[in-house]
Amino acid sequence: MVGPNTGGYIINTQILRARLTETRSVWVATIAIPLLLLAPAFWNGYPLLQWDTGGYLARWYEGYLVPSRSTVFGIYLHLGERSSFWLNLGIQALATLWILQLTLRVFGLARTVRLVPISLALILTTALPWLASMLLTDIFAGLSILALFILVLHGGKIATLEKCALFAFIAFSGATHSATLAVLLGLCCVGWMVRPFLGKRIPAISLLQGSLTIVAGAAMLLAANFALSGQLAWTPGGYGVAFGRMMQDGIVAQYLRDHCAKENLKLCPYRNELPPTADDFLWGHSMFDKLGRFEGLNDEMGHIVVRSLAEYPAWQAKAALAATGDQLVHVATGEGTNGWIPHTYGIIERYIPSQVAPMRAARQQRWHLDFTAINRVHVPVALGSMVIVAILFGYGVWRRRRDDLTLLAGTVTLALLGNAVICGVISGPHDRYGARLVWIATFVVLIAAARLLGDRDRDELSSP
């Protein structure tokens, strides 16, 4: 016999089963996605290392500042040493999952049926898992852009505790690398400039909170520098890196030819022997070593950088434009992640001898890493994603849309352009600088596709 409430009971049972299924799916995704993000490290048998990793590891032990090596990130790596750095990779994977699902949530796409395929697409077609599996600051570059977007434009959709966590995460991310901090600062500046035109879409209090993350990140870096070195100073290296890029473009050689007759410069005897690239000059065995490296040449490099900017403005502008364009298309995965990283090996052997055996046993140290096949997928996906995101942004501006997707596409487009200017012009174009950020363009494309499919599903359900 069927009672009058049987229909309601069946409906409630179906709802309960659906909720239980979704809960199970959430837990499976919460476990599976971080593990898949770390698949390269699991395959390698050890966290992936890069040429720059050693410089960060050494900060805790050496107690002095070196160019372009954040003490904040050095302390972060030191905390994971006893776990063979798997603690660091776990944090990076969980932070990635957190930011991905939080972004999808503010876009109304947080259900597991959306999170899982989007995450898998990013894992299979972008550098994201390689960044999460590596002991390097790069994973925090793209994540901090998304975190800043959420905090500023969608702070009202998340809990206070989440906003505090985002604030701390953005500040930490900016403190790990000056280029990341500069991109975040640039986005905040653009936010203040366009706010009069967007009004309530960018709440002043949220933009102020986002801007204060830059201040907090800078304070964090200064505090860490003081704690480890006793110097209340910014991480050095700006002039040296810019000098390397100008040398690569031929500007330094021209300056030396024009001025060595009247200026007593240390580099004058080597003006016809300068290496062809900045990497060869700064990190190879060049006259840079003979002349005392950064300590011995920093003042002279700064002098040449400043004077050459004034004396060759057209050349500098042309070189900067070319470097920016070149950086935009340098997006291949894996630069600097191979078996030839002697500095990093040396630092680990000197300061963390307990890690030598597992490090040496890893596939990377046996030269089993090859990104050729991977980049046959990653590079076209990255370049195509950048084009599509720029089109989404341009179309939204043309149609005068102020929706979330247009604002996210605009944020990512500006971040990619700002990153290309900062890294290309100052450091010179490198694939690593592009790969660490361009995956967020693919993420935007996947969000747009998910929204389009969702709209089609609703249209089909509502049609007679």
Name which of 294, 315, 302, 306 is nearest 251 in CA terms: 315
pLDDT digits (tens, 9 = 90+) for 424-437: 998 889 999 999 99
The beta-strand segments (E) located in 10-86 are: none
The beta-strand segments (E) located in 251-391 are: none
3-state DSSP call for residue 428? coil
Question: What's the confidence (pLDDT) of residue 27?
Answer: 78
Whole-prediction pTM value?
0.91
How far apart (Å, rounded) are the C-alpha atoms in residues 114 and 223? 41
Question: What's the confidence (pLDDT) of residue 125?
Answer: 98
How far apart (Å, rounded) are the C-alpha atoms in residues 76 and 56? 9
Q: How far is CA 398 from the centre of its chain?
A: 29
Question: What's the confidence (pLDDT) of residue 452?
Answer: 87
Yes or no: say if 175 and 220 are a contact pair by the CB < 8 Å rule: yes
Question: What's the confidence (pLDDT) of residue 279?
Answer: 82
Q: What is the largest CA-CA distance in the chain?
A: 108
How far apart (Å, rounded) are the C-alpha atoms in residues 34 and 97? 7
Name which of 145, 147, 156, 148 is nearest 203 in CA terms: 156
Question: What's the confidence (pLDDT) of residue 17?
Answer: 65
What DSSP character marks residue 339?
Answer: S
How far apart (Å, rounded) are the C-alpha atoms in residues 397 and 230? 49
Quote helix, strand, coil % in the chain, to nearest 5: 75, 0, 20
Yes or no: say if 128 and 377 are a contact pair by the CB < 8 Å rule: no
How far apart (Å, rounded) are the C-alpha atoms in residues 161 and 149? 17
Question: What's the confidence (pLDDT) of residue 461?
Answer: 42
The low-confidence residues of the chain, meaning pLDDT below 70, are 1-23, 237-238, 455-464
Yes or no: say if 95 and 9 are a contact pair by the CB < 8 Å rule: no
pLDDT digits (tens, 9 = 90+) for 302-338: 999 999 999 999 999 999 999 999 999 999 999 999 8
Question: What's the confidence (pLDDT) of residue 460?
Answer: 45
Burial tier of 329 (Cβ tally within 10 Å: 0-12, 13-18, 19+): middle
Q: For Cα atoms 385, 391, 426, give the angle at the middle one, nearest 5 degrees.
A: 65
Place of tokens 């500098």: 316
